A and B are shown apart, each in its own frame.
Chain A
C-alpha cells in the first residue's frame, strides 16, 4: 500500500474547542500504544464516506502520556472535498477511522538556540506540539498566536497555562496585529522562526523575515494545503491503460484512488514529493499547486504532483 502503515483508531472524545474548531481524541483500536511522534508531525486521517474514502492530513496536537491516543484539531470549513465537514458532522464518539503513521514535514530545527513559534488560527495545531516539546527540552522559545477573538482562539487557555508569558496573543477584535517586524528585532544569533497559518500570513511572515535580513534557513513554514479544486479533466495512465475523470471537487490523486490505482503519496499537501509522476502528454496547461518541484521542473512540463496539481485542459497522460 503506497501510503504505508494504516492504524485503526476509535474516536474517544470530542471537544468543541471554539465555535468552529473541534478537538478529536483518537485512541488506538488495538489497545497497543501509538507510535511516538516528533513535534510538527501530521497524520493522514482516512474517512469512509459511503463509496469513497476521504483522506485529509491533520497536524498532531499531542499524544497521551501512556501512548493510548493522539489528538488533532479540525477547523470547520467549507472545503469542497468534504473532509472537514465529515469530521464535524458525521464523526461522533465511538466512530472508527484509520490514520497513517506520523510524518514530519515541519520539524523543530534541533540545533536551534531559540525558537519563535508563530501561529494563526487553526495553524496553532503543530505549534502546540512544538511548544510542548521545546518546554520539555528546557529550550528557549516564544509563541505568537493570532486569533479573531478569545473565543475563536483554539487552546488559548491551555497554552497560557503551560507556557505562561512565553505566549503572546494577538486579538483582531482588539485591533491587535501580529507584525513580524516587531518580533524579529533583537533576536539573538541562532534563532529560528516557524510559522503555520493561512497562506497570506505565512507569506507575510516569511517576507518580513527576509526583509529583516534573516537567512532563509532560519525561516520555517508548514506549507500544507488542501488540494485546490478546478475544472474537470481526464487522466490517462499510459502503462496501466486506464483512463479516469477528475471531477472539479477532487484531486488527481483522489480520482486515481477512486479508480482503484495504488498511487504513491505521503503528505497529500504538495510538500513531500512522494507522489511525483512523469507527464507523458498534456493538451493544456499544468496547474502546479505544490511546494516541491523546482521552477525548472515546473516549466519543463514533464512532472506533476498528483496530490494537489491539476490540468487546465482536456486530457493528461501520465507515466503510470
Chain B
C-alpha cells in the first residue's frame, strides 16, 4: 500500500487534519449510544481492509509528521524515553516486532533484510538505511527501543512480568493523554492504574492483570480507549501542562467544530519472545468535531455518549470545562434517529 504522507504540525499553528479517507478509517470507539468502563479486550486480529486494524502496526498519512513531533519532544525532554537496565532484551524484542511488521505490511516504505544477526533496515519515508548487528547496541545510533520508536507511530511501554504482576520498566511516551512515564517508571500494574476512578471498585484491574499475565506469544490483544483534546496536540503530557492546559479555556461555541477533538487510543499488547515482557502500544488517533460529523452515525452517537457520560469520568478525562459547549454543538447534528449497532459508519 502506498501512502502519501502529509506535511502538518501538532503544535503552534496546528495544521493537522484528516483526509476523507483517514476519517473513514478512524477507529471510532463507541459501539452503543452510551459509554462505561469494561474489560473491552479482544484478539488483535487483522481487521477489514483500509481500517486501522488491517495490520498489527498501523502506519497512516500522519506518519512522517508524527515522527517529527516525537523528535521535538525527545529533544526537549529526554525523560520521555526511559529503560531500566534489565529491559535490554525486551528492547531488542520490540525492535524485531516493529521492523518485521512494518516491512511485511508496508514493503514500499520499509524493508528489512536479515542474514543471521546482520540486519539491514531501510525506511524510505524518513530516509534511513541502517546496517546493524542484532543484539549489539553499539551498532545502532540509539538504544534499540528508542531507535525503532523514533520510526514508528504510537507510544510504547515495555512491561516486565514478575511476582505475579507487570512492571512498567521501559517506554517511549511522547503522545500521551496526561500521564507520565517519568512518574510511572518502575511501578506495577495496580500502582499505575491507581488514579483511575470507578474501575477499581468494579474489579476491572484484577481481571485485566490476570488476563494479561497469561497473554501468549502469537496471540496479541487490543482495546480502544478514548479521551478528548483541545487542538490536535499529541503531546498532552503532565510535563507540558503549562502549555496545553490553558487551551481548554479557549473553546467557544463558534470554534468547537475546529478545536475540540475526539482522541482515540488503539492499545495493543503483545507477549515478547526472548524477554517474556509485554509490549503495550498506545496509538493515538485524533479527529475534530467538524470531521467527525461528516459520518452522521458518529455525530449522533458521540452527542449521546458525551451528554450522558458519568461526571467522575468526565472529570478524570478532563472534559468538564468544554463538555457542555461541545454537547450543544453536537446536538445540532443529532436528529434523534436510531443508530445502528457496532462501530462502523452506516
Contact = CB atoms under 8 A, between A and B. Distances in A.
Interface of A: 4-5, 35-38, 40-41, 101-104, 107, 109-111, 137, 217, 266, 272-274
A266 B84 CA distance: 30
Given A37-B273, A38-B273, A107 B218 contact: no
Interface string B156-189: 0000111100000100000000000000000000
A202 to B, nearest CB: 18
B86 A110 contact: yes
B275 interface: yes
A272 B273 CA distance: 18
B218 A4 contact: yes
A109 B161 CA distance: 9
Contacts of A274: 214
B314 interface: no
Contact of B274 (A36, A40, A111): A36
B210 interface: yes
Give the one of B160, B162, B163, B275 with max A CB within 10 A: B162
B324 interface: no
A146 B174 CA distance: 51
Interface of B: 84-87, 89, 93, 160-163, 169, 210, 213-214, 216-219, 273-276
Contact of A217 (B163, B210, B274): B163
Nearest to B162: A109
Contact of A103 (B169, B216, B275): B216
Contact of B161 (A35, A107, A111, A137): A107
B84 A35 contact: no
Contacts of A101: 216-219
A3 B213 CA distance: 15
A291 to B, nearest CB: 11
Contact of A102 (B85, B163, B217, B219): B217
B219 A5 contact: yes
A303 to B, nearest CB: 13
A30 to B, nearest CB: 14
A145 B23 CA distance: 62
B214 A273 contact: yes
B276 A38 contact: yes
Contacts, number: 56
Contacts of A107: 161-162, 276
Q: What are the nearest 3 A-B pairs in CB distance?
A: A38-B276, A36-B273, A110-B86
B219 A4 contact: yes
Contact of B276 (A104, A137, A217): A104
Nearest to B273: A36
Given A41-B276, A110-B87, 4 more contacts: A35-B218, A38-B276, A101-B218, A102-B273
Contacts of B169: 111
A272 B215 CA distance: 11
B149 to A, nearest CB: 20
B202 to A, nearest CB: 18
A38 B275 contact: yes
A217 B188 CA distance: 14
A272 B85 CA distance: 27
Nearest to B216: A4
Given A38-B273, A110-B160, A273-B210, A266 B218 contact: no
26 contacts: A4-B216, A4-B218, A5-B217, A5-B218, A5-B219, A35-B218, A35-B273, A36-B274, A38-B273, A38-B274, A38-B275, A40-B276, A101-B216, A101-B217, A101-B219, A104-B276, A107-B161, A110-B160, A111-B86, A111-B162, A137-B89, A217-B163, A266-B214, A272-B214, A273-B210, A274-B214
Contacts of B219: 4-5, 101
A5 B93 CA distance: 20
A94 to B, nearest CB: 26
Nearest to B87: A110
A103 B275 CA distance: 12
Nearest to A36: B273
A274 B216 CA distance: 11
A306 to B, nearest CB: 14
Contacts of A36: 93, 273-274
Contacts of B210: 273
Nearest to B219: A4
A266 B218 CA distance: 14
A280 to B, nearest CB: 20
Given A107-B162, A111-B86, A266 B216 contact: yes
Contacts of B214: 266, 272-274
B278 to A, nearest CB: 12
Contacts of A35: 217-218, 273
A273 B210 CA distance: 8
